[in-house]
């Protein structure tokens, strides 16, 4: 049905993780859109770390269209698995005030006001437990209702099943848009 209507479909493995169910709900909400008065939340980064037992660092880019309600969220299996978490702005200001929601196993660092443009770095230290994971999700809303955010949609034209990428090349298509308008000449890596 999704192929015929140009919609989305989600498969959740019975033996899979909670991430699959969460991704399906997030994907369906993102696809449904929001009211014109409401600013859409844009996914900037999503990475899962499992049993690494080290300091993890990463970078999230905030362009000129984004910056309102910049939020770094961690989903976790066990709170004690997270030893520390902080975010640093492009100008060097460190944010490490964490809001915990133990009932949903989530923690947040939300940047107040409008976030600076540029590269935001995060540092996460976790224990070496092989049974625990942390899922990092960074999101932001647009700065203004007048400027649409730049988004990238990646898809595999042959479907979501890749049997053997080593024997046959896999084509990945990236569609870069600002609002409903395509961005021509974008360099996607």
Mean pLDDT of 123-141: 90
Break the chain into its structural domains and give their ranges: 1-32, 41-147, 148-189
State how far Cα 166 lies from the chain centre: 27
Residue 32 has pLDDT above 50, yes or no: no
Give tens-digit pLDDT for 34-68.
445 567 788 899 998 886 678 999 999 999 989 99
pLDDT given for residue 53 in this prediction: 72
Rounded-to-10 torsion of CA 46, 52, 57, 58: -20
**Out of 27-31, 84-88, 136-140, least confident range:** 27-31
Q: How confident is the model at residue 88 (pLDDT cuts 50, 70, 90)?
A: very high
Top mean-pLDDT range of 109-123, 129-143, 169-183: 109-123
What is the percentage of the chain residues whose pLDDT exceeds 90? 35
Radius of gyration in angstroms for the set of CA atoms belonging to the chain, rounded to a whole number: 18
pLDDT given for residue 186 in this prediction: 81
pLDDT given for residue 37 in this prediction: 54
Q: Is 9 strand, coil or helix?
A: coil
CATH number at 41-147: 2.60.120.380
**Out of 64-68, 107-111, 120-124, least confident range:** 64-68
Q: For residues 53 and 129, is the Cβ–Cβ distance under 8 A?
A: yes
Mean pLDDT of 97-120: 93
Average pLDDT, the chain: 80
Residue 159 has pLDDT above 50, yes or no: yes
Q: For residues 105 and 76, is the Cβ–Cβ distance under 8 A?
A: yes
Q: For residues 121 and 62, is the Cβ–Cβ distance under 8 A?
A: no
Report the run of H or E that residue 103 belongs to, with start and end.
none
């Amino acid at each position: 049905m999704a192929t015929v209507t140009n919609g989305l479909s989600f498969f959740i493995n019975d033996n899979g993780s909670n991430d699959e169910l969460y991704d399906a709900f997030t994907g369906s909400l993102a696809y449904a859109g929001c009211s014109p008065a409401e600013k859409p939340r844009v996914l900037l980064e999503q990475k899962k770390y499992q049993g690494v037992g080290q300091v993890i660092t990463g970078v999230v880019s905030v362009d000129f269209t984004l910056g309102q309600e910049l939020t770094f969220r961690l989903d976790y299996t066990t709170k004690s698995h997270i030893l520390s978490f902080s975010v640093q702005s492009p100008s060097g200001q460190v944010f490490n005030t964490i809001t915990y929601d133990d009932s949903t196993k989530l923690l947040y660092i939300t940047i107040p006001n409008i976030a600076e443009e540029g590269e935001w770095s995060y540092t996460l230290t976790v224990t070496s437990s092989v049974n625990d994971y942390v899922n990092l999700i960074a999101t932001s809303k647009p700065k203004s209702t007048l400027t649409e955010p730049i988004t990238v949609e990646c898809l595999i034209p042959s479907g979501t099943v890749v049997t053997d990428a080593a024997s046959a090349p896999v084509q990945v298509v990236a569609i870069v848009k600002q609002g409903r308008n395509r961005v021509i000449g974008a360099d996607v890596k």
